[in-house]
Amino acid sequence: MSKATIYNVALKAGVSLATVSRTLNNPEKVKKETRDRVMNVIEELGYKPNAFAKGLASRRSTSVAVVVPDMSRSSIAEMVNGVAVEAKKYQYSLILYVLKDENRGEAEMLKEVVASQADGILYMNDEINEEQYAMLNTIQEDYKVPIVLANTLYPYDNKLVTVCIDYFKAGYEATNRLVQEGRKNIYMLTTARKYMVNDLKEAGYIKAMKEAGLETNIIRTSGDITVNTVHFNELFKDQGKKIDGVIAVRDSIAVSFINTMIEKGKKIPKDISVFGFQNTKYASLSRPKLSCVDIPIIDIGAKAMALLKKEIDGEHIEQKFNVLHHDIIERGTTIK
Amino acid sequence: MSKATIYNVALKAGVSLATVSRTLNNPEKVKKETRDRVMNVIEELGYKPNAFAKGLASRRSTSVAVVVPDMSRSSIAEMVNGVAVEAKKYQYSLILYVLKDENRGEAEMLKEVVASQADGILYMNDEINEEQYAMLNTIQEDYKVPIVLANTLYPYDNKLVTVCIDYFKAGYEATNRLVQEGRKNIYMLTTARKYMVNDLKEAGYIKAMKEAGLETNIIRTSGDITVNTVHFNELFKDQGKKIDGVIAVRDSIAVSFINTMIEKGKKIPKDISVFGFQNTKYASLSRPKLSCVDIPIIDIGAKAMALLKKEIDGEHIEQKFNVLHHDIIERGTTIK
DNA sequence: GTGAATTAAGGTGGTACCGCGGTTAGTTTA
DNA sequence: TAAACTAACCGCGGTACCACCTTAATTCAC
């Protein structure tokens, strides 16, 4: 009973191929009795339409390509979870492309994505630059493949549908909380690599500092925690460096900073207040628990998938740029 | 320049369809000059063979299905990273199936996997039971779809190719370290849900405890850290409960336990030694840094993919059960 | 008011594709 | 004369359009 084809089903149910196809794709166009009979046979034979044949004939794959930079980043993984749940609603399958250690150009990979016949592309690479954005645009236009950016954005243009939060505002708000606590020497810890979203957090931080008449201090460090721990030790070796507040672009960076400082005898939050970004498990597992910007990352994934589905179905999306709501969570690393 | 077909290429290169097909699939059968000419046109038109047509005609998809329980688990995400890197070598694409919140039976999902025409299945669901194992076997046999289990196993049988580490041994070794420290009241913290690999860690723990003539204490808690923190608080409310050592089946559980205890005034590792499992980022971000069993999770993913590829290519795999090496890492939560 | 004719709509079957791989037999090239 | 290539066709398993057949409802002629 390896593989039942539509032909087997038709034969056994005593109907034509067309009718079987219709019972599956346009059930309302088939009389109930016939439909039931066909469905029974389908059940009996364990028939599932061959995805290739279906794709070839219909020119639709009911699958979307999911492009991610690196699965091991907690935010990416959570987002994929959200995408998966939403995709299931539409019976869409996910084709995964992990860019990590990708040495061929991204262009090559995107061509592959197109060749895979995916009905749409969910682009989650936050390390996006002008060139890539242009490429994505070309693909969307030339190949008519809808693209949605999830938790990433290209702020200088908005031809592509985007789901994100207002990272600028979040950075601004988090910084302001520390300013309101009376902190004067507030640092921003960000990644050495240029992620668009981190640039926005940084811009928000700068704005808040400027408004408060404070001096900005931006430290670019590695996303790798073993590396940045060393870095922090180096940086704050001389106790002369005044620091009483920190905004980190990732929870993990915030936590490794906290650990470094506590080992140096600093009190958190008495001496230094710390804010993270994302509200990952790292934040809950930190001691004290990390205050952070809560980002609805699962919702971003789900919303992005939902919008992509709409685009695929040809619906016009009036709102290209979709901003989801974020929260500021105060826990143990800031003073209420 | 939307979609070039093999026909366009043939026309422009002045050859027949057959020759184009050969250049791509059996290049050695085509004279170099012709081949070069065809390749140039392919490049020029940006031609990529239609995956559906190719799959339909060749009955191979050059894609594998990756079945995971939940992307947000750090071990799963890392493993997928490993799979992705290896898959890229073979130009295989990944179709992702996330079981999380799956309410239809898993049988239904597996049928879908088969219908997707994947050439093979990478099964990473560690919540495997007898029924599922039987189902996987049926699929492998009836549909001739190779299956590899990655970081999960079914210890009562070994028809399916498996890549794992010796969790029994790891549990045994970790427990022994604590015994050698002189710990007497060593608890195992495991998940309430039945994961096969956790059962093995538990069995290893029990063996070591028995050998040392110590009493076993097994606490089943949630994988959700907000829940288990409450649980730990409840359990160890009465200070009468003696406890001086802990083996946790996941790093995250270990860390939340540590946090709970330290808040109660316990010293780690002076009063209680703690061991985790996996060596995730949680372990490095814990304070003190978590001692744990280091599991080569990326390698497991890569190895599983490599074996699957072999199976797909029809090579016989003599070694069905593949055990990768693990390490015991001693850091700050145990006494050297 | 009745039976016949027309129409509409619902249900079903027939079949040309979709783009490629593989085979065969025949043709050209070195 | 072998090697390299062409031409033609089938098959893969579906989809979707179009055409056809029912059946029921409506209109019509008488």
A57 CA to C7 C1' distance (Å): 35
The confidence score (pLDDT) of residue A213 equals 96
B311 CA to D16 C1' distance (Å): 38
The confidence score (pLDDT) of residue B335 equals 92
More confident residue, A86 or A48: A86
Share of chain A above pLDDT 70, in %: 98
- Average of pLDDT values for B114-135? 90
Whether the predicted pLDDT of A102 surpasses 80 = no
Residues of B in Cβ contact (< 8 Å) with A2: 142-144
The architecture (CATH level 2) of B63-166+297-326 comes to 3-Layer(aba) Sandwich (3.40)
Q: Give the residue extent of every domain in chain A.
A: 6-49, 61-166+297-327, 167-295
Whether the predicted pLDDT of A1 surpasses 50 = no
B91 burial (CB, 10 Å; 0-12 / 13-18 / 19+) is exposed
A44 CA to D25 C1' distance (Å): 39
Whether the predicted pLDDT of A244 surpasses 50 = yes
The confidence score (pLDDT) of residue B240 equals 63
Residue A218 neighbours by CB under 8 Å, 6+ apart = A187, A188, A190, A202, A205
Give me the residues of B, 22-61, that contact A with CB < 8 A.
46, 48-53, 55-56, 61
Scored b (16 or more CB within 10 A) or e, A11-37 reads ebbebeeebbbbbbeeeeebeeebbeb
pLDDT band per the 50, 70, 90 thresholds, residue A58: confident
Q: Please tell me the distance in Å from B280's CA to the nearest CA on chain A.
A: 10
Residues of A in Cβ contact (< 8 Å) with B1: 142
The architecture (CATH level 2) of A167-295 comes to 3-Layer(aba) Sandwich (3.40)
Whether the predicted pLDDT of B112 surpasses 90 = no
Residues of A in Cβ contact (< 8 Å) with B70: 81
The confidence score (pLDDT) of residue B155 equals 84
* Of A48-62, A148-162, A315-329, B103-117, minimum mean pLDDT range: B103-117
Tell me the pLDDT tens digit for each residue of B258-305. Answer: 999 999 899 999 999 999 999 999 999 999 999 999 999 999 999 999
* Of A23-37, B164-178, B309-323, minimum mean pLDDT range: A23-37
Question: By the 8 A CB rule, do B164 and B323 touch?
Answer: yes
Helix (H) / strand (E) containing A268: none
Rounded to whole angstroms, the Cα distance separating B93 from B82 reads 13
Q: Tell me whether A71 touches chain B (CB under 8 Å).
A: yes
* Of A36-45, B25-34, B74-83, minimum mean pLDDT range: B25-34
The nucleotide closest to B52 (CA, C1' atoms): C19
Q: Tell me whether A5 touches chain B (CB under 8 Å).
A: no
The confidence score (pLDDT) of residue A316 equals 87
Name the residues contacting strand D (CB < 7 Å). Answer: A 3, 5-7, 17-18, 20-21, 24-25, 47-50, 52-54, 56-58, 60; B 14-19, 29-31, 33-34, 53, 56-57, 59
Which bases of strand C have any atom within 7 Å of the beta carbon of a protein residue?
Answer: 10-15, 17-24
Rounded to whole angstroms, the Cα distance separating B142 from A315 reads 42
B27 touches strand C (CB under 7 A): no
Rounded to whole angstroms, the Cα distance separating B7 from B21 reads 10
Q: Tell me whether A274 touches chain B (CB under 8 Å).
A: no
A19 CA to C8 C1' distance (Å): 22
Backbone angles phi, psi at A328, to 5 degrees: -110, 120
Q: Tell me whether B212 touches chain A (CB under 8 Å).
A: no
- What letter does residue B27 receive in the DSSP assignment? G
Residue B53 CB coordination number (10 Å): 16
pLDDT band per the 50, 70, 90 thresholds, residue B67: very high
The confidence score (pLDDT) of residue B75 equals 92
Share of chain A above pLDDT 90, in %: 58
Tell me the pLDDT tens digit for each residue of A147-195. Answer: 999 999 998 888 899 999 999 999 999 999 999 999 999 999 999 988 8
Q: Tell me whether A264 touches chain B (CB under 8 Å).
A: no
- Mean pLDDT of all residues belonging to chain B: 90
A32 CA to C10 C1' distance (Å): 12
The confidence score (pLDDT) of residue B239 equals 62
CATH of B6-49, one of 1.10.1380.10, 1.10.260.40, 3.30.70.2190, 3.20.20.210: 1.10.260.40
Rounded to whole angstroms, the Cα distance separating B312 from A249 reads 43
Flag if B96 and A98 touch (Cβ within 8 Å).
no
Tell me the pLDDT tens digit for each residue of A43-53. Answer: 888 888 888 98
Which bases of strand D have any atom within 7 Å of the beta carbon of a protein residue?
Answer: 3-9, 11-18
Question: By the 8 A CB rule, do A323 and A164 touch?
Answer: yes
B21 CA to C2 C1' distance (Å): 71
Flag if A286 and B285 touch (Cβ within 8 Å).
yes
The confidence score (pLDDT) of residue A240 equals 63
pLDDT band per the 50, 70, 90 thresholds, residue B1: very low
Residue A335 CB coordination number (10 Å): 15
More confident residue, A131 or B188: B188
- Average of pLDDT values for B302-331? 94
Same fold, B6-49 and B63-166+297-326: no
Question: By the 8 A CB rule, do A75 and A131 touch?
Answer: no
The confidence score (pLDDT) of residue A5 equals 87
The confidence score (pLDDT) of residue A313 equals 87
Q: State the Cα torsion A308-A314-A315-A316 to the nearest 10°.
A: 90
Q: Tell me whether B329 touches chain A (CB under 8 Å).
A: no
pLDDT band per the 50, 70, 90 thresholds, residue A123: very high
Superfamily of domain A61-166+297-327: Response regulator (3.40.50.2300)
Whether the predicted pLDDT of B242 surpasses 50 = yes
Q: Which residue is nearest to nucleotide D17 (CA to C1')?
A: A18
Q: Tell me whether A299 touches chain B (CB under 8 Å).
A: no
Beta bridge partners of B323: B164
pLDDT band per the 50, 70, 90 thresholds, residue B121: very high
Q: Tell me whether B226 touches chain A (CB under 8 Å).
A: yes
The confidence score (pLDDT) of residue B161 equals 96
- Average of pLDDT values for A286-298? 97
